[in-house]
Amino acid sequence: MDLIVVLYPWIKALHVIAVIAWMAGLFYLPRLFVYHAEQATVGDQLDGTFRVMEDKLLRLIMRPAMIVAWIAGLVMVAAGAFDWGAVWAWAKTAGVIGMTAMHVWLARRRREFAEGRNTRSGRTYRLMNEVPTLLLVVIVVAIIVRPF
């Protein structure tokens, strides 16, 4: 029996766990940015606290979770779990690429905060906080309902 077939349920479980951790960060980091932008002044104690929280969230939770989610997902694709002729597979792929783009955008904003160069308002981060939810809906509907 092929090893991937035997391990497939474990790979799938690992993928789901990693995605949940990644999504938690994608939901929380923009919310931290809202409060950082609205409540802290560059160089004050609160600014330092937010910087540490944002850095640890991105570096210790979000980035490893994203990497594990991608690797487990690609292993499942290699195992033949995707029907590339179906629109749902492309919709999910687009959603995952969107999540990755959101992750990169947030990482760049975290760097701006860390360098004291944030120019965006709390409102911007409130709006961006909705993007992961929209991507989540696209991905879950594509993979579970497979409407196309």
Consult the annotation and say whether 15 binds a ligand.
Answer: yes
**Reduced 3-state DSSP string for the chain:** CCHHHHHHHHHHHHHHHHHHHHHHHHHHHHHHHHHHHHHCCCCCHHHHHHHHHHHHHHHHHHHHHHHHHHHHHHHHHHCCCCCCCCHHHHHHHHHHHHHHHHHHHHHHHHHHHHCCCCCCCHHHHHHHCCHHHHHHHHHHHHHHHCCC
Which residues are annotated as part of the binding site? 15, 92
Annotated binding site for heme: 15, 92
